[in-house]
Structure 1
Amino acid sequence: MSSKGGLYSLSDWLVLPTLVFSQFAGTSLWFAPNAVVSQVESFGESEIAILVSCVQVGFIVGTLIFTYFALTDRMSPPLLFTGSCVIGAAINLLCVVTTNVPAWAFLRLLVGVCLAGVYPVGMKIAAIEYPSGLGARLGVLVGALTLGTAFPWLVSGIGDKAGLPFEATLGAVSALAIVGAFSVTLVMIPRGDGIGSKTLRQCMSCCFNQKQPVGNPVARHAILDETLPAAAAADLKDDSVEVVLTDDAGLEDGAKKEIDTSGTSFDSNEPIDNTQNQSLSGIAALKVIIGSSEFRAAAVGYCGHMWEIYAFWAHMPSLVNSHSEFHDGVVMGNEAYTSFAVIAIGAVSCSVGGIWSLRAGNEVVPGSAVVAIVSLFVSGCCCLLVPLYLKMSKGVFLFFLLVWGSAVVSDSAQFSSLTARYSYPGLVGTSLTLTTSVGFVISVVSIQLIGTLIDSGWDAGNALVLLAIGPAIGVYRSYMEWPLHRLWFSSNTNEAASRRNTNEAASRDFNSLNGVVDEIQLKIVSHSME
């Protein structure tokens, strides 16, 4: 990319690795205390559920705030990401000064609020940077999130063997998060492309000035009215362009406007009617977001996934302990290392799923839908099989957990990709944040439900079978929208879809041509009357 305004530019290939590392570093804050609770005598299974739920609730509060004010679409994403990471790391480090459960719960709540500026904002940056092949990129990003979630378990395992206190683990995680935060700043801010170039003062102005447009008004108008290809509209984000818009854009006929496509200002000698381009927030934004059937299908699938994943991650160590105790004290290995392996393998499956999404699917069923539905189905089957875990040998049980750990997270990025794909242009970040927020509300319910059942005497396997509810609902709704059988049992699907797209494109071109002809004729008549 070329430099703009004297600012330095970096190659595109550096953006994704930076996002991956920063996402990994920032999300390592998520389960940091859970990895060290075994070293704190006052913490048990119920305390673990409380700590995890507090992070989820904090994340929900943060995402609701971000969604209502559309902060992910109004503020500079890199600055928002960096600030959230740094504050979250500082709060996480405060856990070293006390082992009081209420104090830790409150601190974890605040960390959850900060994480609302990490996970969804990272997806927002990826959605802007990579309008095509988004499923693959989000697969890598969610893989980084998964690895970050598992990382504290690895640090804890190393610390246990080295005899280090739990404070060392928390300190290492906070330091990693800070490094990841400033990595995004150093790479994204100097690019000056409208994503990272806003100053903090401009960000605050965008946040509290309701007349500022969200996103790229030109791209939004073009995509909604189908007057430009979506890819071409997405390209408008890179440079300020001079365009001519007519009455359908809410401007005077033939008015020529210079548009700053970073979405922060308009420069014109004539007044502009911002009716079509005013930012949406609150109930108005919500109505627009949920208006798409495809969006609703992706959101329901994501919520079904969220019912399962965090409850599995939170209570999987209990499953490991129960299996070890049942088999006459046969220990699978250090609990921290086992937990790390089962969670971290999801990073690999997310990346593989992202690559698969590029090759799977067709014009009717997106590749991301294929990967998401298959992954959710496999993890749902694991939920149904988990009551049999005590009959499994050590090796079979470990293999079962690795399969479950792979499938439980590989659908996350693909549902997020579908959400971004079918979101209202200009509210992609808000749509992702809203969906994530609702999903985390659901995760709190499942975490507390499973934790309560285990504490009341239920076997861990019998309690975790209830997680199958989420995948069942998610697979059903997603399959209704994107029936996978059409990939294999309808030989004419691709041909029919291609023919339909060609006809629609020809019709749009014909209508556009007619509009140009009508405008020329109108101008000729006007001149003749003069």
Structure 2
Amino acid sequence: MTPTPLASSKLRSLAFLMVAQIAGMSLWFMSSAILPDMTAEAAISDSRQALLSSAVQAGFVAGALASAILGLPDRYDPRRLFALCAVGASMANLSLLISTPGSDLAIAARFATGALLAGVYPVGLKIAVGWGKDDRGLLVGILVGALTFGSAAPHLLALLGGADWRWTVSVASIAALAGGLLVLGSTLGPYHASSGHFDIRAIATAWTDRKVRLAYAGYLGHMWELYAMWAWIGVATTASFSLTMVMAEAVTLGRIIAFGAIAAGGIACIIGGLYADRLGKETIALIALAVSCASALATAASFGGPVWLTCICALVWGASILPDSAQFSALVADHSPPDKAGSLMTFQTALGFALTFLTVQVTPVLADAVSWPVVFSIMALGPAFGIVAMLRLKHLTSTAAVR
């Protein structure tokens, strides 16, 4: 059967968007991936190491709040906004090449990168949800999967580039620039809706609508662990492996596991999306939250033990930590007015990343104080909170369906 022009346009647009998302989000964990090589070249204090990672979150929160309050994803062509921000983020990332590692300029560059990425990830979600309603869980799952592959990319690039961290920075920046241009080749779907005016009251729906509020609550529980795990799993597993391996081998394996754990989440996110529209977005979120919670505790229990066991626990944790993220975004889109969905999804990510600013910054400090296993156990509290929120939302939607 020959695909219709609309179906062909949908496939082409989503393919462009997915590649652009991977390329753009490859800038996110840049500092975490190249940190061992940067610290080998220059002395960087523990607090500045943490700032290099958390500055991205802080920048993203600032950019996402501004974007949501001003309604940018709903008022302007999201493709152009995506392209402009991706190109800007690539330039900010390139400035790392002319700054001293760990300096104020480097931290400012990471902040600017995060602020501009607020016009990439949530704006990409706005474009994706415009292409469907019945398959929205899959569409968002694919896009969040792309985000994950992009987030994992710096660890792979760091492996390929060896000790040359400048090579890693350059390749990722060029990719983000190309991705920003590529998204301009996509089109907007039939369910895309725009808002012709500025209305700050749009984000109030996050509190006044109980379904949206519960979707936000589940997302915040999910974000409690997600970026702290992503940012520091390589460092944490390296610390675990170093207890039974030579340090050089532990560092290499830690990078491989970090890439594998994050990438596994991307694959699981797409698989979860395949079933979300049939089984229910809340159901997929609940399954992911439960497995993630158990995996965090299992990784804590295996720390310093057999290397193969810690690897398996970390990879399962990485696979289960993400599929719920896409469904939280899809649920917000489902329960929001179509012409406000972009702003509400952007505001959702702003709140989530505001939380990650704290968790990413505190995680290594807390690990030094109480150990990585204790920190992993604390991370498990997030998905436990998310489970409660999703059970309430599932009950609410089931009751509404019966009526």
Same-fold call, TM > 0.5? yes
Aligned pair in 2 of structure 1 residues 123, 77: CA closer, same or farther (>3 Å)?
A: same
| 2:56–2:110 CA contact under 8 A, matched in 1 | yes
Deviations 1:3-23 (A, max 9, x none): 9xxxxx962221111111111
Q: Which residue of 2 aligns with 1:119?
A: 121
Aligned equivalents of 2:238, 2:370: Cα separation in 1: 14
**Mapped contact 2:289–2:324 kept (Cα < 8 A):** yes
Structure 1 residues 56 and 391 mapped into 2: Cα distance closer, same or farther (>3 Å)?
closer
Query: TM-score w.r.t. structure 2 length?
Result: 0.91
Does structure 1 conserve the Cα–Cα contact (< 8 Å) formed by 2:282 and 2:393? Answer: no
Relative distance call for 1:148 and 1:412 in structure 2 (3 A) is same
Change (3 A) 1:480 1:171: same
Q: Is the 8 A contact 2:60 2:117 kept in 1?
A: yes
Q: 2:355 aligned with 1:436, yes or no?
A: no
User: 123, 126, 132: which is aligned to 1:130?
Assistant: 132
| Larger fraction in helix | 2
Shift of 1:131: 2.6
Match of 1:67 in 2: 68
The offset of 1:356, in angstroms, is: 1.6
Distance 1:159 1:336 in 2: 13
Secondary structure (helix, strand or coil) at the match of 2:322 reads helix
Distance 2:61 2:243 in 1: 38
Once residues 336 and 359 of structure 1 are traced to their aligned partners in structure 2, the CA distance between those partners, rounded to angstroms, is 36
Shift of 1:34: 1.7
Q: Which residue of 2 aligns with 1:525?
A: none
Partner in structure 2 of residue 287 of structure 1: 204
Matched residue SS, 2:208: coil
Aligned residue for 2:18? Answer: 20
Task: Please point out which of 216, 220, 229 is paired with 1:299.
Answer: 216
User: Which position in structure 1 is the counterpart of 2:381?
Assistant: 469
Matched, 1:417 2:330: yes
Residues 5-53 of structure 1 deviation map (CA, whole Å, 9 limit, x = unaligned)? xxxx962221111111111111001011221111112236543321121
Q: Which residue of the partner structure matches residue 348 of structure 1?
A: 267
Q: Match of 1:150, as an amino acid?
A: A
Residue aligning to 1:173: 172
How much has 1:477 moved relative to structure 2?
Answer: 1.5
Distance verdict in 2 for CA 1:336–1:383, change over 3 Å:
closer
Q: Which amino acid aligns with 2:204?
A: K
Q: Which residue of 1 aligns with 2:372?
A: 460
Cα deviation digits, residues 309-347 of structure 1 (max 9, x gap): 000011112221221122253845443222111111111
Deviations 1:135-158 (A, max 9, x none): 111111111101000101101101
TM-score of the aligned structures, taking structure 1 as reference length: 0.70
Native 8 Å contact 1:46 1:451 kept in 2: no
What is the total number of aligned residue pairs between the two structures? 393
Structure 1 pair 262/2, CA: closer, same or farther in 2 (3 Å)? Answer: farther
Q: Where does residue 273 of structure 1 map in the other structure?
A: none
Identity %: 31
Quote the offset at 1:497 in angstroms: 4.5
Separation in structure 2 between the aligned mates of residue 450 and residue 68 of structure 1, nearest angstrom: 30
Offset at 1:385? 2.8
Instruction: Say whether the 8 Å CA contact 2:141–2:273 is kept in structure 1.
Output: yes
Describe the shift of the 1:68–1:497 C-alpha distance in structure 2 as closer, same or farther (beyond 3 A).
closer
CA contact (8 A) 1:157 1:334 kept: no
Letter of the structure 2 residue corresponding to residue 147 of structure 1: F
Equivalences for residues 468-507 of structure 1 within 5 A: 468-483=380-395, 497=401, 500=403
1:444-477 CA distances to partner (integer Å, 9 max, x unpaired)?
Answer: 111122122124x432122222112211111112
Give the Cα separation in 2 of the matches to 1:416 and 1:349. Answer: 16
C-alpha deviation, 1:369, in angstroms? 0.7
Q: What are the Cα deviations for residues 159-207 of structure 1, in whole angstroms up to 9, with x where unaligned?
A: 11xx6x211110000011111111111233xxxx6x7xxxxxxxxxxxx
Quick check: 1:337 aligned with 2:250? Answer: no
Q: 1:11 to 1:285 in 2, by over 3 A?
A: closer
**Contact 2:76–2:194, Cα closer than 8 Å, also in 1:** no
SS at match of 1:288: helix
For the residues of structure 1 that align with 2:311 and 2:245, how far apart are their CA atoms? 17
8 Å contact from structure 2 (residues 158, 168) kept in 1: yes
- AA of the residue aligned to 1:20: M
**Structure 2 CA distance for aligned equivalents of residues 158 and 86 of structure 1:** 24
Q: Alignment RMSD, CA only?
A: 2.3
Larger Rg: 1
